[in-house]
Structure 1
Amino acid sequence: MKRLLLATCLFGFAASAQADEVKVAVAANFSAPMQKIAADFEKATGHKAVLSTGATGAFYAQIKNGAPFEVFLAADDETPAKLESEGLGVKGSRFTYAIGKLVLWSTKPGFVDPQGEVLKKGGFEKLALANPKTAPYGLAAVEALKKLGLAEAVQPKLVQGETITQTYQFVASGNAELGFVALSLVWKDGAIANGSAWVVPADLYSPIRQDAVLLSKGASQPAAQALLQYLRSDAARAVIRAYGYAF
């Protein structure tokens, strides 16, 4: 029994000695699922993922300026590819971890109809969307409005968030009657958590392929490599799917 206890203690010590931290830049729309994944990752490996959330474009600028991130989970596929081509991302490490969906959402039940006709009727004062220059979901919203022929009509009513999370807050707080947000922010247990929503048809905007990339600062970091491997696991994908993403 004493030998067993000693072996267990030694194993636990070795595991903790090998455990490390990985600094992760996470696109704002993926904050909630990543918090769950990070907790599961730590239980499974002993490694701790330290998360920072924000807009993909803002993270790109920070990484270019030397921010100490080791893994980047972007809200698009273009930014990680750019970092890779610029030598700030490890070649061959990039992959799509999720495909996002855009939704028009309001906290008011019945306010947003299943076909999104509320946009044409115009019975609202403010429409929120994320900054299309830095947030891929904001760009997707602009694309959808243009394809619907409504970009000019709604222009005076637009309010802009710097991230998709801030855009969500505009609607959740009532500062905007409705807004374009990531489906993941309003999806729970297989349905819209509250209010009313229209899931924007995928043919109205470019696919939101969200890519992960190992950054150059994490190239020799075992925890960074382990996290990217874990993101591809069945356990992580079950969490991602539960938040309304596709692959």
Structure 2
Amino acid sequence: MPTRMVNVVVDAAEPAALARFWADLLGWRISLENDEEVDVQAPEVDGWDMDLVFVPVSVPKTVKNRLHLDLSSRSAAAQDATVARALSLGATRLDIGQGAVPWVVLADPEGNEFCVLEPRPEYADSGAIAAIVVDSRAPGALATFWAAATGWRVVRDTPDFASLRAAGGRGPWLEFLRLDEPKVVKHRVHLDVAAYPGEDQQAEVDRLCALGARPNDIGQVGVQWVVLADPEGNEFCVLTSR
């Protein structure tokens, strides 16, 4: 049985403040807060069954994130309202060279990029977050790896874009967008996967490594999770079975 995706994890200088921004923006709630992490949880009706987890990291953000969130909109008015709410909570408009596009690029209070999309039919059932988007040099190949890591299926696969969707058809998409720029620093946003209850964590680590992942040392010591890098070097963690 494959692992499943359980968290989107964000490095933060001030985890509690950044978690509050995202909880207020999405209409979600803070479900856990301690010195090691702050978790933001979606309501069940949203369809998102993972947590947004904010962890303390002192290293400042220096480059564009290779993983970002796209927020959904049901109408043009709803898109405008989300942008206005984000700006009122401390977001800023951001120019990353996108030009004249129908979506709006913003940065959260710690500079993490995110997009507020115009209405799109494919995201009608995604909830507040339409997609988790990963920059990739080979979108199709990376999507194939993550399909094995998450149990999600590849729905779209083109030379420049590939996307995965959970079997239930609700919650966010996981998408890979072609970008030829190389990865240069540790990601500030990464994914956590976990083995299912009763499954062996190390066996899943071995399976993922056989599919192209590799062990990754980011200075972790004495932790219960295993840090790996996917075939393009993107860090992710394999948590204990749950």
Q: TM-score range by the shorter chain?
A: under 0.3
Task: Pick the structure with more strand per residue.
Answer: 2
Greater RCO (CA < 8 Å, at least 6 residues apart): 1
Query: What's the TM-score once normalised by structure 2's chain length?
Result: 0.27
